[in-house]
A = this chain, B = another copy of it.
Amino acid sequence: MREFELIGALRERLRPRRADTRLGIGDDAAILAPPPGHELVVTTDTLIGGRHFPHDTPAADIGFKSVAVNLSDLAAMGADPAWLTVALAAPVLRQAWCHAFIDGAREAIGARDIDIVGGDTTRSETLTVAITALGTLPQGSALRRDAARVGDLVAVTGTLGDAAAGLACWPGRAQAGADARALIARLTRPTPRDGMRLRGLAHAAIDVSDGLLADLGHILAASDVGARIDVDALPASPALTRHVVDSRQRRQLQATGGDDYELCLTLAPADLERARAALNCPLTVIGRIERATGLRLTDATGRVLDTQALSRAGWDHFDGR
Protein backbone atom coordinates (compact mmCIF):
# COMPACT_ATOMS: atom_id res chain seq x y z
CA MET A 1 0.00 0.00 0.00
CA ARG A 2 1.27 3.47 -0.76
CA GLU A 3 2.39 5.65 2.10
CA PHE A 4 -0.09 8.43 1.42
CA GLU A 5 -3.04 6.04 1.39
CA LEU A 6 -1.86 4.38 4.57
CA ILE A 7 -1.52 7.72 6.33
CA GLY A 8 -4.94 8.72 5.06
CA ALA A 9 -6.52 5.57 6.44
CA LEU A 10 -4.87 6.05 9.82
CA ARG A 11 -5.61 9.76 9.94
CA GLU A 12 -9.33 9.05 9.88
CA ARG A 13 -8.90 7.09 13.09
CA LEU A 14 -6.65 9.66 14.72
CA ARG A 15 -8.88 12.71 14.61
CA PRO A 16 -8.07 14.98 17.54
CA ARG A 17 -10.45 15.03 20.50
CA ARG A 18 -8.75 17.46 22.83
CA ALA A 19 -9.87 21.08 22.56
CA ASP A 20 -6.26 22.22 22.87
CA THR A 21 -5.17 20.20 19.83
CA ARG A 22 -5.51 22.97 17.26
CA LEU A 23 -4.33 20.84 14.34
CA GLY A 24 -3.64 17.10 14.29
CA ILE A 25 -2.08 14.88 11.63
CA GLY A 26 -2.15 16.17 8.05
CA ASP A 27 -0.03 19.32 7.81
CA ASP A 28 3.74 19.75 8.04
CA ALA A 29 3.35 19.70 11.83
CA ALA A 30 0.72 19.60 14.55
CA ILE A 31 -0.38 22.72 16.43
CA LEU A 32 -0.98 22.42 20.16
CA ALA A 33 -2.04 24.91 22.80
CA PRO A 34 -0.59 23.93 26.19
CA PRO A 35 -2.56 25.38 29.13
CA PRO A 36 -1.32 28.75 30.47
CA GLY A 37 0.87 28.55 33.55
CA HIS A 38 1.93 25.04 32.71
CA GLU A 39 5.20 23.54 31.66
CA LEU A 40 5.57 21.05 28.86
CA VAL A 41 7.12 17.64 29.49
CA VAL A 42 8.69 15.80 26.53
CA THR A 43 10.15 12.32 26.26
CA THR A 44 11.20 10.02 23.42
CA ASP A 45 11.49 6.25 23.56
CA THR A 46 12.29 3.92 20.70
CA LEU A 47 11.38 0.22 20.53
CA ILE A 48 13.16 -2.12 18.14
CA GLY A 49 11.81 -5.45 16.93
CA GLY A 50 13.80 -8.38 18.33
CA ARG A 51 15.27 -6.20 21.03
CA HIS A 52 12.48 -4.53 23.00
CA PHE A 53 9.89 -7.08 21.96
CA PRO A 54 10.22 -10.50 20.30
CA HIS A 55 9.90 -10.55 16.49
CA ASP A 56 6.67 -12.54 16.70
CA THR A 57 4.89 -10.07 18.97
CA PRO A 58 1.39 -9.22 17.74
CA ALA A 59 0.97 -5.69 16.31
CA ALA A 60 -1.50 -4.70 19.03
CA ASP A 61 0.98 -5.64 21.76
CA ILE A 62 3.69 -3.60 20.03
CA GLY A 63 1.34 -0.61 19.84
CA PHE A 64 0.39 -1.05 23.48
CA LYS A 65 3.92 -1.32 24.80
CA SER A 66 5.36 1.48 22.66
CA VAL A 67 2.77 3.89 24.02
CA ALA A 68 2.92 2.53 27.58
CA VAL A 69 6.66 3.00 28.01
CA ASN A 70 6.41 6.60 26.87
CA LEU A 71 3.43 7.32 29.12
CA SER A 72 5.47 5.78 31.93
CA ASP A 73 8.20 8.39 31.40
CA LEU A 74 5.62 11.18 31.64
CA ALA A 75 4.20 9.53 34.76
CA ALA A 76 7.64 9.49 36.34
CA MET A 77 7.70 13.30 35.95
CA GLY A 78 4.21 13.64 37.42
CA ALA A 79 2.89 15.03 34.13
CA ASP A 80 -0.60 14.83 32.66
CA PRO A 81 -0.16 13.05 29.30
CA ALA A 82 -1.63 14.97 26.38
CA TRP A 83 -0.09 14.22 22.98
CA LEU A 84 1.89 11.55 21.13
CA THR A 85 3.77 11.41 17.87
CA VAL A 86 4.41 7.96 16.41
CA ALA A 87 7.17 7.17 13.92
CA LEU A 88 6.81 3.68 12.47
CA ALA A 89 9.45 2.01 10.31
CA ALA A 90 9.04 -1.52 8.98
CA PRO A 91 9.95 -3.74 6.01
CA VAL A 92 6.29 -3.74 4.99
CA LEU A 93 3.44 -1.80 6.56
CA ARG A 94 0.14 -3.49 5.90
CA GLN A 95 -3.06 -1.68 6.66
CA ALA A 96 -4.39 -4.46 8.91
CA TRP A 97 -1.15 -4.47 10.88
CA CYS A 98 -1.28 -0.70 11.32
CA HIS A 99 -4.87 -0.79 12.49
CA ALA A 100 -4.02 -3.50 15.04
CA PHE A 101 -1.05 -1.37 16.16
CA ILE A 102 -3.37 1.61 16.66
CA ASP A 103 -5.85 -0.63 18.51
CA GLY A 104 -3.10 -1.57 20.96
CA ALA A 105 -1.92 2.03 21.28
CA ARG A 106 -5.47 3.07 22.12
CA GLU A 107 -5.77 0.35 24.75
CA ALA A 108 -2.59 1.66 26.41
CA ILE A 109 -4.05 5.17 26.30
CA GLY A 110 -7.23 3.82 27.90
CA ALA A 111 -9.43 6.51 29.38
CA ARG A 112 -6.66 9.13 29.29
CA ASP A 113 -7.30 12.25 27.25
CA ILE A 114 -4.51 11.87 24.67
CA ASP A 115 -4.33 12.69 20.96
CA ILE A 116 -1.90 11.14 18.49
CA VAL A 117 -0.96 14.30 16.58
CA GLY A 118 1.99 13.34 14.44
CA GLY A 119 2.96 10.39 12.37
CA ASP A 120 5.65 9.14 10.09
CA THR A 121 5.80 5.82 8.24
CA THR A 122 8.96 4.64 6.56
CA ARG A 123 10.28 1.46 5.05
CA SER A 124 13.13 -0.12 7.01
CA GLU A 125 14.64 -3.58 7.34
CA THR A 126 14.08 -3.35 11.09
CA LEU A 127 10.69 -2.85 12.75
CA THR A 128 11.16 0.37 14.70
CA VAL A 129 8.69 2.41 16.73
CA ALA A 130 9.87 5.83 17.92
CA ILE A 131 7.34 7.66 20.03
CA THR A 132 7.53 11.12 21.49
CA ALA A 133 5.12 11.83 24.32
CA LEU A 134 4.15 15.30 25.51
CA GLY A 135 2.49 16.12 28.78
CA THR A 136 1.75 19.16 30.90
CA LEU A 137 2.53 20.16 34.47
CA PRO A 138 1.59 23.11 36.65
CA GLN A 139 4.75 25.20 36.67
CA GLY A 140 7.49 23.87 38.97
CA SER A 141 5.60 20.73 40.03
CA ALA A 142 7.68 18.07 38.25
CA LEU A 143 8.87 14.97 40.11
CA ARG A 144 12.56 15.20 39.32
CA ARG A 145 15.28 12.65 39.93
CA ASP A 146 17.33 15.17 41.85
CA ALA A 147 14.67 15.90 44.48
CA ALA A 148 15.13 13.00 46.96
CA ARG A 149 15.71 14.19 50.54
CA VAL A 150 17.46 12.52 53.46
CA GLY A 151 14.81 10.80 55.59
CA ASP A 152 12.45 10.18 52.65
CA LEU A 153 10.85 6.79 52.32
CA VAL A 154 11.62 4.88 49.12
CA ALA A 155 8.49 3.28 47.67
CA VAL A 156 7.44 1.47 44.52
CA THR A 157 4.08 1.06 42.83
CA GLY A 158 2.64 -2.34 41.90
CA THR A 159 4.96 -5.33 41.80
CA LEU A 160 8.49 -5.94 40.53
CA GLY A 161 10.17 -8.69 38.51
CA ASP A 162 7.12 -9.80 36.57
CA ALA A 163 8.28 -8.60 33.16
CA ALA A 164 11.71 -10.21 33.49
CA ALA A 165 10.07 -13.48 34.52
CA GLY A 166 7.64 -13.09 31.61
CA LEU A 167 10.53 -12.74 29.18
CA ALA A 168 11.89 -16.10 30.39
CA CYS A 169 8.43 -17.63 29.79
CA TRP A 170 8.08 -16.23 26.26
CA PRO A 171 9.65 -19.14 24.31
CA GLY A 172 7.22 -21.62 25.90
CA ARG A 173 4.20 -19.36 25.78
CA ALA A 174 2.11 -21.71 23.63
CA GLN A 175 1.98 -24.16 26.53
CA ALA A 176 2.11 -21.55 29.30
CA GLY A 177 -0.13 -21.87 32.34
CA ALA A 178 -2.10 -19.04 33.91
CA ASP A 179 0.80 -17.67 35.99
CA ALA A 180 3.24 -17.67 33.08
CA ARG A 181 0.63 -15.98 30.90
CA ALA A 182 0.09 -13.32 33.55
CA LEU A 183 3.84 -12.66 33.70
CA ILE A 184 4.08 -12.49 29.90
CA ALA A 185 1.21 -10.01 29.86
CA ARG A 186 3.17 -7.76 32.23
CA LEU A 187 6.03 -7.86 29.70
CA THR A 188 3.93 -7.20 26.61
CA ARG A 189 1.41 -4.84 28.15
CA PRO A 190 2.97 -2.93 31.02
CA THR A 191 0.61 -0.64 32.94
CA PRO A 192 1.65 3.01 32.86
CA ARG A 193 1.03 4.42 36.33
CA ASP A 194 -0.78 7.68 36.99
CA GLY A 195 2.18 9.65 38.26
CA MET A 196 0.28 12.94 38.12
CA ARG A 197 -1.55 11.79 41.27
CA LEU A 198 1.75 11.99 43.14
CA ARG A 199 2.36 15.67 42.40
CA GLY A 200 2.81 17.55 45.64
CA LEU A 201 3.30 14.26 47.52
CA ALA A 202 6.35 12.51 46.09
CA HIS A 203 9.71 14.26 45.95
CA ALA A 204 11.77 12.29 43.40
CA ALA A 205 10.47 9.69 40.96
CA ILE A 206 11.70 7.47 38.13
CA ASP A 207 10.12 4.63 36.22
CA VAL A 208 11.61 1.17 36.53
CA SER A 209 12.65 0.30 33.00
CA ASP A 210 16.23 -0.88 33.50
CA GLY A 211 15.72 -2.62 36.84
CA LEU A 212 14.98 -1.20 40.30
CA LEU A 213 18.56 -0.93 41.53
CA ALA A 214 19.83 0.69 38.33
CA ASP A 215 16.95 3.16 38.21
CA LEU A 216 17.00 4.01 41.91
CA GLY A 217 20.73 4.57 41.42
CA HIS A 218 19.88 7.44 39.05
CA ILE A 219 17.79 9.12 41.76
CA LEU A 220 20.58 8.69 44.31
CA ALA A 221 23.24 10.05 41.98
CA ALA A 222 21.13 13.02 40.85
CA SER A 223 20.08 13.85 44.43
CA ASP A 224 23.55 13.20 45.91
CA VAL A 225 22.17 10.92 48.60
CA GLY A 226 22.19 7.21 49.42
CA ALA A 227 19.58 4.64 50.37
CA ARG A 228 19.04 1.53 52.42
CA ILE A 229 16.72 -0.96 50.74
CA ASP A 230 15.17 -4.10 52.25
CA VAL A 231 15.12 -6.53 49.34
CA ASP A 232 12.66 -8.75 51.18
CA ALA A 233 10.20 -5.84 51.12
CA LEU A 234 10.18 -5.66 47.32
CA PRO A 235 6.59 -6.33 46.23
CA ALA A 236 5.99 -9.58 44.31
CA SER A 237 2.86 -10.52 42.40
CA PRO A 238 1.10 -13.78 43.34
CA ALA A 239 1.97 -15.07 39.85
CA LEU A 240 5.68 -14.37 40.36
CA THR A 241 5.70 -15.89 43.85
CA ARG A 242 4.10 -19.10 42.54
CA HIS A 243 6.06 -19.25 39.28
CA VAL A 244 9.54 -18.53 40.68
CA VAL A 245 9.68 -20.55 43.87
CA ASP A 246 13.39 -20.03 44.54
CA SER A 247 13.40 -16.87 46.69
CA ARG A 248 16.95 -15.84 45.71
CA GLN A 249 16.11 -16.06 42.05
CA ARG A 250 12.88 -14.13 42.62
CA ARG A 251 14.69 -11.41 44.56
CA GLN A 252 17.17 -11.07 41.71
CA LEU A 253 14.33 -10.60 39.23
CA GLN A 254 12.65 -8.03 41.46
CA ALA A 255 15.80 -6.06 42.17
CA THR A 256 17.31 -6.02 38.68
CA GLY A 257 14.70 -7.13 36.15
CA GLY A 258 13.82 -4.48 33.57
CA ASP A 259 10.63 -3.56 31.79
CA ASP A 260 8.23 -3.44 34.76
CA TYR A 261 7.44 0.28 34.27
CA GLU A 262 6.46 0.71 37.88
CA LEU A 263 7.32 4.00 39.56
CA CYS A 264 10.06 4.19 42.17
CA LEU A 265 9.66 7.30 44.26
CA THR A 266 10.76 9.01 47.44
CA LEU A 267 8.46 10.89 49.77
CA ALA A 268 8.23 12.24 53.30
CA PRO A 269 6.93 9.61 55.76
CA ALA A 270 4.09 12.00 56.65
CA ASP A 271 2.80 11.88 53.06
CA LEU A 272 2.74 8.10 52.66
CA GLU A 273 -0.91 7.52 53.44
CA ARG A 274 -2.05 10.43 51.29
CA ALA A 275 0.03 9.07 48.40
CA ARG A 276 -1.52 5.63 48.89
CA ALA A 277 -4.98 7.14 48.87
CA ALA A 278 -4.21 9.19 45.74
CA LEU A 279 -2.96 6.21 43.73
CA ASN A 280 -5.11 3.54 42.15
CA CYS A 281 -2.51 0.81 42.70
CA PRO A 282 -0.51 -0.56 45.64
CA LEU A 283 2.41 1.50 46.97
CA THR A 284 5.02 -0.43 48.97
CA VAL A 285 7.73 1.09 51.15
CA ILE A 286 11.05 -0.64 50.41
CA GLY A 287 13.59 1.55 52.17
CA ARG A 288 14.75 4.98 53.15
CA ILE A 289 16.95 7.75 51.79
CA GLU A 290 20.14 8.32 53.80
CA ARG A 291 22.82 10.98 53.80
CA ALA A 292 25.69 8.57 53.05
CA THR A 293 25.85 8.08 49.28
CA GLY A 294 25.57 4.61 47.75
CA LEU A 295 23.05 1.85 47.96
CA ARG A 296 22.92 -0.52 50.95
CA LEU A 297 20.83 -3.66 50.64
CA THR A 298 19.57 -5.70 53.54
CA ASP A 299 17.21 -8.62 53.91
CA ALA A 300 14.31 -8.76 56.33
CA THR A 301 16.63 -9.90 59.13
CA GLY A 302 18.81 -6.80 58.69
CA ARG A 303 21.68 -8.77 57.16
CA VAL A 304 23.67 -6.67 54.65
CA LEU A 305 23.75 -8.13 51.12
CA ASP A 306 26.30 -7.78 48.33
CA THR A 307 24.88 -4.85 46.37
CA GLN A 308 27.46 -5.17 43.60
CA ALA A 309 26.54 -8.75 42.79
CA LEU A 310 22.82 -8.03 42.80
CA SER A 311 22.94 -4.77 40.84
CA ARG A 312 25.25 -5.87 38.06
CA ALA A 313 22.41 -7.35 36.08
CA GLY A 314 20.78 -3.99 35.13
CA TRP A 315 19.49 -3.59 31.62
CA ASP A 316 21.83 -1.86 29.22
CA HIS A 317 20.93 -1.87 25.55
CA PHE A 318 24.52 -1.60 24.41
CA ASP A 319 25.87 -4.24 26.72
CA GLY A 320 24.85 -7.47 25.14
CA ARG A 321 21.16 -8.06 24.91
Contacts and interface: CB of A to CB of B under 8 A. Distances in A.
Interface of A: 1-4, 6, 22-23, 26-34, 36, 39-46, 48, 51-52, 73-74, 76-77, 79, 83, 85-87, 89, 93, 117-126, 128, 130, 132-135, 137, 139, 142, 144-146, 205-207, 222, 316-319
B3 A44 contact: no
B316 A142 contact: no
Contact of A40 (B31, B44, B79, B93): B31
A318 B28 contact: no
Q: Could you say how many copies of this chain the assembly holds?
A: 2
Contact of A316 (B3, B22, B83, B137): B3
Given A42-B117, A44-B85, A89-B48, A318 B123 contact: yes
Given A29-B79, A206-B28, A46 B120 contact: yes
A161 to B, nearest CB: 21
B39 A22 contact: yes
A33 B27 contact: no
Contacts of A123: 48, 51, 317-318
A278 to B, nearest CB: 19
A145 B48 contact: no
Interface centre among A22, A145, A206 (most CB of B within 10 A): A22
A127 to B, nearest CB: 9
A247 B67 CA distance: 49
Contacts of A117: 42
A43 B30 contact: yes
B85 A23 contact: no
A121 B45 CA distance: 9
Nearest to A49: B124
A26 B222 contact: yes
A318 B39 contact: no
Given A142-B23, A206-B28, A134 B46 contact: no
A145 B146 CA distance: 43
B126 A31 contact: no
A34 B82 CA distance: 15
A28 B145 contact: yes
A90 to B, nearest CB: 10
A94 to B, nearest CB: 11
B28 A32 contact: no
A142 B26 CA distance: 14
A315 B76 CA distance: 40
A69 to B, nearest CB: 11
A319 B33 contact: no
Contact of A77 (B1, B29, B122): B29
Contacts of A122: 46, 48, 51-52, 317
Most buried by B among A52, A144, A316: A144
Contact of A134 (B42, B128, B130, B144): B42
Contact of A318 (B2, B34, B43, B133): B2
Nearest to A133: B29
